[in-house]
Amino acid sequence: MILIVDFGSQFNQLIARRVRENRIYCQIAPPAITIQDIQKLNPEGIILSGGPSSIYEKNSPKVDEKIFDLNIPILGICYGMQFMIHTLGGDVKRAEKREYGFAELQIKKSEGLFTSVDSKTSCWMSHGDSIKTIPKGFSITASTENTPIAAVENEKKRFFGLQFHPEVHHTPKGKKMLQNFLVDICKCKQTWTMKNFARNAISEIQETVGDKKVILGLSGGVDSSVTALLLHQAIGNNLTCIFVDNGLLRKNEAEKLKKTFGQHLKINIRFVNAGGKFLKALSKVADPEKKRKIIGKIFMDVFESEAKKIQDAEYLAQGTLYPDIIESQSAFGGPTSVIKSHHNVGGLPEKMKLKLVEPLKFLFKDEVRLLGKALRLEDEMIWRQPFPGPGLAIRIIGEITPKRLSILKEVDAALLEEIKAAGYYRKLWQSFAVLLPLKSVGIMGDQRTYENIVAIRAVTSKDAMTADWAKLPHKLLGKISNRIINEVQGVNRVVYDISSKPPSTIEWE
């Protein structure tokens, strides 16, 4: 494995992605990690990340200097390089010109990190400090016009430093440089596959949980579904999943889930049909945040009372992913991870005195999908678009009534069918319909109509932090609109949302 020390760069997750693309496992740890913990992890190499600080700032982040005595190859990137050079006796100074953007890299030594990299190549710079002098044992291996010391190495000790960012796409040969470090220099074996991950995760769960019982809140999303499969394979019927049907799901979702998990996979599931409770509490509520609060509270109550029926449960499993953990910086031996509240059963573990099992906590979303594939989860579940916890409640603008809910379910089902038939479902981050609290005049046959308007929202995105409205073909949009207006009673107008995030959000509420 490779250890990445996180000095706060916005590109840290990208470094981890690059390592894992080489089928090598890595973990990100804060600089406060102790030398004992590093030794326990037994990494084949260490990457010191970039970061926004200057090494001369009073509280600039530092990792224990003893890492340089471990006889492990180390690659410092940007701030990580400056930390290494400063610690080992070189000189780092504020650069006369801050350098940001593309620069042409002139490579002086086509070996080590630069094996099979052309002697002239582009690189991406983003720094205010530069190396002025290098410590004994180091040599300069590349430079740019503004940065004479753009790359260094201490061949004997296997220490390397890059002033630029090899992990970003703007450094076209960056992938090769990282691969050279990981495979040639650190001698990592490229054996980290999802099959291996699953095998290890299953035996780890067995070791941790033993013969104790585990509860899991199943939502039908890919994260909780893959978590359920892993646990089921590890502990069989000692896993009980709880699925709360809040009545705000897409058409036929609850039935599909019952079939997949209960009948096909034979996982122990308790289905709680709580639609009535949710709808009653939401009656006459139009404010989006009030809707969210009501839904969150009822979900907790229903989940807790169902969980209490499971005798002697000691663990709660959750499909927490790595980005959530990295944000809270507690993956490495810290306290229980802080979790985005809308993902998970916030507060329940403490309340019910349950211990947490989070087998996906070191994975990224696309890795979870690959893991699902390795566990033979059906494609339809693996590729499900994200669906918000409050469900259709936040897609019915204004008050929710059974009638409006039923209109939206029909509209949404027709939309999804067309999106899937046109081969767009997987290409889109999300695609859904929103029922507006407005009516408009139309004409059907010879009759004047005065009916509801629905908006179609379809976006592309990598992580939901930003999103672009999808440029769906007009022909497809036309087909969707025709189907909805012809088939769903109560709708006579369809509009397409052409706003991106930011400044809009993906959901309308």
Beta strands in 397-464 (DSSP E): 430-444, 447-460
Distance CA 46, CA 35 (A): 12
Question: Nearer Cβ to ligand XMP, position 345 or 506?
Answer: 506
Q: Is 439 in the site for ligand XMP (CB under 6 A)?
A: no
What is the distance between the alpha carbons of residues 262 and 270, in angstroms, rounded to a whole number? 9
Using the rule CB under 6 A, is 287 a contact of ligand XMP? no
Q: What type of residue sits at position 105? A: L
Contact flag: residue 389 with ligand XMP (CB under 6 A): yes
Segment 292-311, which members bind ligand XMP (CB under 6 A)?
Answer: 292
167 is catalytic: yes
| CB-CB neighbours of 258 under 10 Å | 16
Q: How far apart are CA 196 and CA 204, in angstroms?
A: 12
- Which among 26, 78, 186, 241 is annotated as catalytic? 78
Nearer to ligand XMP, 252 or 505 (CB): 505
> In one letter, which amino acid is 27?
Q
Question: Of 335-364, which residues contact ligand XMP (CB under 6 A)?
Answer: 342
**Under rule CB under 6 A, residue 466 binds ligand XMP:** no
Among the candidate windows 43-51, 175-183, 201-209, 385-393, which touches ligand XMP by CB under 6 A? 385-393
Give the span between the Cα atoms of 183 and 285, in whole angstroms.
58
Catalytic residue among 165, 186, 410, 418: 165
Q: How far apart are CA 217 and CA 245, in angstroms?
A: 11
Q: Which is nearer to ligand XMP, 395 or 404 (CB)?
A: 395
Least distance from ligand XMP to the Cβ atom of residue 399, Å: 18
Tell me the residue type at 331: A
Per CB under 6 A, 505 contacts ligand XMP: yes
In sign, the C-alpha dihedral spanning 8, 9, 10, 14 is: negative
Contacts of ligand XMP in 444-463 (CB under 6 A): none
Which ranges of 11-135 would DSSP assign to H, the alpha helix?
Answer: 12-21, 35-41, 79-87
Give the shortest CB-501-to-ligand XMP separation in angstroms: 5
Shortest gap between Cβ of 467 and ligand XMP (angstroms)?
7
Residue 458 tokens read as 């379809």
Residue from 6, 381, 388, 454 binding ligand XMP (CB under 6 A) = 388
Size of the site for ligand XMP (CB under 6 A): 12
SS3 437: strand
Handedness of CA 481, 483, 484, 485 (dihedral sign): positive
Please choose, from the candidates 509, 464, 474, the residue with its C-alpha nearest in 3D space to the C-alpha of residue 494. 474
Q: How far is the CB of 426 from ligand XMP (least distance, A)?
A: 15
In the complex, least distance from residue 264 CB atom to ligand XMP, rounded to whole angstroms: 26
SS3 (DSSP) at 498: coil
Considering only residues 140, 464, 476, 477, which one is a binding residue for ligand XMP as defined by CB under 6 A?
464
Question: How many CB atoms are closer than 10 A to CB 192?
Answer: 17
In terms of CB distance, is 161 or 389 closer to ligand XMP? 389
Does 221 contact ligand XMP by CB under 6 A?
no
Residue with tokens 């894992």: 20
Tracing tokens 């019952």 back to the chain, one arrives at: 258
Catalytic residue (choose from 44, 167, 306, 418)? 167
Q: And the tokens for 392? A: 């259709």
Is residue 99 annotated as part of the catalytic site, yes or no?
no
Binding of residue 319 to ligand XMP (CB under 6 A): no
d(CA 142, CA 105) in angstroms, rounded, equals: 7
CA R_g for the chain? 27
Alpha-carbon distance 98 to 126, whole Å? 8
Q: Which stretch binds ligand XMP (CB under 6 A): 51-59, 76-84, 297-305, 384-392?
A: 384-392
Stretch that binds ligand XMP, among 68-76, 197-205, 260-268, 383-391 (CB under 6 A): 383-391
Report the amino acid identity of residue 322: Y
Between 159 and 429, name the residue whose CB sits nearer to ligand XMP: 429
The piece of 252-260, 366-374, 434-442, 501-509 that touches ligand XMP (CB under 6 A) is: 501-509
Binding status of residue 391 toward ligand XMP by CB under 6 A: no
Structure tokens of 190?
């490229």
**Nearest one of 274, 508, 297 to 392, comparing CA atoms:** 508
CB of 430 vs ligand XMP, minimal distance in Å: 6
For CA atoms 502, 249, 404, 305, give the dihedral sign: negative
Which residues inside 39-58 make contact with ligand XMP, applying CB under 6 A? none
Nearer to ligand XMP, 111 or 507 (CB): 507
Assess 247 for contact with ligand XMP (CB under 6 A): no
Q: Which residue numbers are catalytic?
A: 78, 165, 167
Under the rule (CB under 6 A), what is the footprint of ligand XMP? 292, 342, 386, 388-390, 430, 464, 501, 505-507
